[in-house]
């Protein structure tokens, strides 16, 4: 059995939403980096502090129902909505606010943006 810890992710400068408390579980162990250029430092830090398993969503499988959190580098339209729509906690490293056709799914309970590694803290 795995021991997971919690982190709190707060919005960064110009960001929106949160704070989110993220705790991986045996059912949802993955910290997925759905970002360009490999695993983002924010995803790595969440995984390091929680004990979750970090994966590059563009290289390996990261199904919605296995995710503790999705870390994205979304410019405001697509990924910001897709993960919250599936009730997956979502951290955008860009400072976006709810917009686009999926804006209704983007809530402060599921989404936080403008996040840098220092915005991820242990509880």
Q: Which residues are catalytic?
A: 74
33 binds other proteins (CB under 8 A): no
CB of 56: closest distance to other proteins in angstroms? 10
Binds other proteins by CB under 8 A, chosen from 96, 112, 119, 120: 96
3 binds other proteins (CB under 8 A): no
Length of the chain: 123
Is residue 33 within 8 A of residue 62, CB to CB? The reply is: no
Binds other proteins by CB under 8 A, chosen from 24, 52, 57, 84: 57
Q: Among residues 78 and 121, whose Cβ is nearest to other proteins?
A: 78
Q: What whole-number distance in Å separates Cα of residue 23 and Cα of residue 117?
A: 17
Could you give phi then psi for residue 20, rounded to 5 degrees? -110, 135
Whole-angstrom Cα Rg for the chain:
13
Span from 3-11, 19-27, 44-52, 75-83 in contact with other proteins (CB under 8 A):
75-83
Q: Among residues 20 and 88, whose Cβ is nearest to other proteins?
A: 88
């Amino acid at each position: 059995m795995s021991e997971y810890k919690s982190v709190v992710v707060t919005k960064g400068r110009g960001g929106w939403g949160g704070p989110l408390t993220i705790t991986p579980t045996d059912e949802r162990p993955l910290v997925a980096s759905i970002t360009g250029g490999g695993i983002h430092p924010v995803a790595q830090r969440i995984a390091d502090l929680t004990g979750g398993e970090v994966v590059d969503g563009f290289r390996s499988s990261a199904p919605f129902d296995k995710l503790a959190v999705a870390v994205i580098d979304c410019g405001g339209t697509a990924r910001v909505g897709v993960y919250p729509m599936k009730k997956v906690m979502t951290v955008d490293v860009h400072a976006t606010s709810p917009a686009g056709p999926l804006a209704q799914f983007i809530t402060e309970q599921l989404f936080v943006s403008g996040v840098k590694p220092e915005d991820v803290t242990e509880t």
